[in-house]
Amino acid sequence: MKKRDREELLPLLEKMWIIRAFEEKVSELYAKKEILGLIHLGIGQEAVAVGICSLLHQDDYVFSGHRAHGHAIAKGADLGRLMAELAGRSTGYCRGKGGSMHIVAMDAGFVAATGIVGGTIPLALGAALVCKEKKKRQLAVVFFGDGAGQTGAFHESLNIASLWKLPVIFVCENNGYAEFTPLSAHTVVSRLADHARTYSMPNVTVDGNDLLAVLDAAREAVQRARSGEGATFIECLTYRLRGHYEGDPGKYRELSEVAEWKAKDPIARFSEMLKQKRMASEKQIREAEIEARARVEKAVDFALSSPWPEADEVTKQVFA
Amino acid sequence: MRELAYYEAKFEALGEIMAADERVHLIGGTFLSLSTRRAIYQELVKKYPGRAVSPPISELSFCGLATGAAMAGLRPIVDLSTGSFIFEAWPQVANEAANALYMSAGQTRVPVVFHIFHGIRGGGAAQHSHSPQAMFWNCPGLEIVLPSSPRDVKGLLKTAVASDNPTIFVDHVQLLEVRGEVPENDKPIPFGQADVKRKGSDVTVIATSLEVQKSLGAAERLAEEGIQVEVVDPRTVVPLDFQTLLASVEKTGRVVIVDQCHRSCGIAAELAARIAEEGFDKLKAPLRRVTTPDVPIPFSPPLEEFVTPSESRIIDAVRAVLR
């Protein structure tokens, strides 16, 4: 492990806590029917979002899938506008027309989420092509789950990315389940990074709940992209501590398995590491959580006091 | 005024577009089809290396690539070649590109042009002969353009590239050799501006794409019998200049709509519905459609001819509305 400063690492804990606090609050609001629709939470997967996005600049392009809140937050999306969008209010990023699965926070460089598994993977190729041509060392990142690894879009995109040497990072959050069934019911390939090998693309599989491991992999991939060396595939082994969607009874997972992964919680592990290495005090660690929950409360106040969109919103922005 | 072949006007347009804006990229290479004219297109590839690229045969990903590139500031024109191939890219066109501006409440613009050659081409059979434009009309957020003449293809292609919306540019290989007047220093043709291609007082024939040319041929033959046909070409169905169509309906009271889409839910079906809604009291006879029947396109030449909307079928339909 490289020598790292407290200044560099404590903010990453704070960021993970913001995502955790946000997602837990969304779950609470969903149960109270203040948020409706289809919600997919990333509780337990925070280290992947933070590890990757902490190395990106505002003008790097990030794409995600249906479980996108954490990625958007890690990339710099405003919590209030994000919460308002989930709550369908006119002050949301998408004026209430996108919702949880279609978050767009262009000001933060979060370009698109999608409700279609694999839907944003080809989009990331295009953004990467633009980055390659502009020669300003920008790159594109696309997050997707293990379920996307069986789609045509996934394989076609790995092919083009390797063929055209595009500055794109494919980040696979392999949480072992594609919707309600284990990965083994979807494919004989247990490590999705192997697919990258088919296309001669540099690839790595890491413990996605170890923020430092994610950071190390990300650092190398970002460097490769910025220096014109092309694409990287990073497979992050992780686990979603809640159901596929809010309301999912989750009967397809053993309680012992959930407990096993709870013990590997990325936030707990990182906090422990910071304490052990004396990079943060017990007090600072507790404050990270308290601060995060306070910020999320403000976001909720903003969102729930915001107006609903007017009826005439439905015909706006169909065409530019 | 000078006369150009359609493919010449199209090639001229591509050249001017590429020269004017370096954000324009060409993805795919059969803009002048697989005909002998294709070699001309190579001139553009040579002139703009890096801006005219040939992707692998994976339409889903390269249409997604074009969409994502447009989101990031490029203005790509993607050539799907045969219209049927756009089915491979459907999720990216209909579910990502078409929705992006709306779902993002205007944060994301997708200035991409998806170029296809639609329709019955001569021996393409069922899998190479689709006219998917009406299907796209049912996906809000996509502009749909159907040029029918050398002047129109040049003017409309320029507007398609300048548009910030995702645009389906619906061309037809049998238009490529059609000759017509193209002014020097022509101007881009705005979308939502129909064109009365031939004035007449007896029957309105509304047609798109190649069927405009066939309708003009039918009008010539009918003129010999003293029947004056007005041929109206919407040029774009999204946005649609319905006012011009309606004005012609009001003038003649008799309508024939010609379209190479299949009969059910084709372009003609939607135009007919709108005319029935807004122009009913102007009609002197029930309107007629001349379309491809609801069958997959057969291979054998006489069978293919049988299903294709033709000049004779247009003439028959005009006679029918005059009875």
The pLDDT tens digits of the residues spanning B241-261 come to 999 999 999 999 999 999 999
One-letter amino acid identity for A132?
Answer: K
- pLDDT tens figures, A76-121: 999 999 999 999 999 999 999 999 999 999 999 999 999 999 999 9
Q: Residue B287 sits in a domain of what CATH number?
A: 3.40.50.920
pLDDT band at A250 (very low <50, low <70, confident <90, very high): confident
**Residue at B233 is within a domain:** yes
The catalytic position among B59, B96, B230, B270 is: B59
Strands A177-178 and A181-182: antiparallel
pLDDT higher than threshold 70 for residue A274: yes
Residue B59 to residue B62: CA distance in whole angstroms: 5
Judge if B145 and B204 occupy the same domain.
no
Amino acid B54: pLDDT: 93
Q: Is B92 on the interface with A (CB under 8 A)?
A: yes
Q: Is B262 a catalytic residue?
A: no
Amino acid B91: pLDDT: 98
- pLDDT tens figures, B11-25: 999 999 999 999 999
- pLDDT tens figures, A37-82: 999 999 999 999 999 999 999 999 999 999 999 999 999 999 999 9
**Cβ atoms < 10 Å from Cβ of A310:** 11
Q: Which residues contact B39 (CB under 8 A, 6 or more apart)?
A: none
pLDDT higher than threshold 90 for residue A2: no
For domain A6-301, the question of CATH label 3.30.530.20 is answered with no
Query: B228-261 burial by CB neighbour count: b if 16+ within 10 A, else e?
Result: ebbbbbbbbbbbbbbebbbbbbebbbbbbbbbbb
Q: Identify the H or E element spanning A136.
A: none
Nearest chain B residue (CA) to A103: B104
Domain final position from B135, B151, B181: B181
**Residue at B142 is within a domain:** yes
Residue B119 to residue B302: CA distance in whole angstroms: 16
Domain final position from B181, B209, B230: B181
Amino acid A4: pLDDT: 60
**Residue at B10 is within a domain:** yes
**Residue at B38 is within a domain:** yes
Q: Which domain holds residue B274?
A: 195-322
**Residue at B159 is within a domain:** yes
Q: Which of A164-168, A216-220, B46-50 has the lowest mean pLDDT?
A: B46-50
Sequence spans of domains, chain A: 6-301
Q: Residue B26 sits in a domain of what CATH number?
A: 3.40.50.970
Amino acid B29: pLDDT: 85
Strands B229-233 and B195-198: antiparallel
The average confidence (pLDDT) of chain B is: 97
Judge if B73 and B149 occupy the same domain.
yes
**Residue at B316 is within a domain:** yes
Q: What is the mean pLDDT of residues A215-231?
A: 98
Judge if B136 and B249 occupy the same domain.
no
Which regions of chain B are under pLDDT 70?
Answer: none
Q: Is B59 a catalytic residue?
A: yes
In Å, how far is B4's CA from the nearest CA of chain A? 33
Q: Which residues contact A81 (CB under 8 A, 6 or more apart)?
A: A91, A92, A93, A105
Q: How far is CA A287 from CA A2, A23, A212, in A?
A: 26, 18, 21
Residue A101 to residue A113: CA distance in whole angstroms: 6
Residue A70 to residue A242: CA distance in whole angstroms: 14
Q: What is the pTM of this model?
A: 0.97
| End-to-end C-alpha distance for chain A, whole angstroms | 50
Decide if B61 and A125 are in contact by the 8 Å CB cutoff.
yes
Judge if B66 and B200 occupy the same domain.
no
**Residue at B317 is within a domain:** yes
Sign of CA dihedral A184, A189, A194, A199: negative
> Cα B159 to chain center, whole Å?
14
In Å, how far is A124's CA from the nearest CA of chain B? 6
Residue B216 to residue B175: CA distance in whole angstroms: 13
Q: What is the mean pLDDT of residues A223-227?
A: 98
Judge if B270 and B129 occupy the same domain.
no
Q: What are residue B21's phi and psi, to 5 degrees?
A: -145, 115
Q: Do the beta carbons of residue A111 and residue A61 sit within 8 Å?
A: yes
Amino acid A251: pLDDT: 86
Judge if B124 and B247 occupy the same domain.
no
Residue B298 to residue A38: CA distance in whole angstroms: 44
Q: Is B15 on the interface with A (CB under 8 A)?
A: no
Between A and B, how many CB-CB pairs are < 8 A? 144
Q: What are residue B168's phi and psi, to 5 degrees?
A: -95, 115
**What is the ipTM score, two decimals?**
0.96
Judge if B251 and B206 occupy the same domain.
yes
pLDDT higher than threshold 80 for residue A289: yes
Residue A169 to residue A224: CA distance in whole angstroms: 9
Judge if B210 and B174 occupy the same domain.
no
Residue B188 to residue B298: CA distance in whole angstroms: 38
Q: Is B40 on the interface with A (CB under 8 A)?
A: no
**Residue at B283 is within a domain:** yes
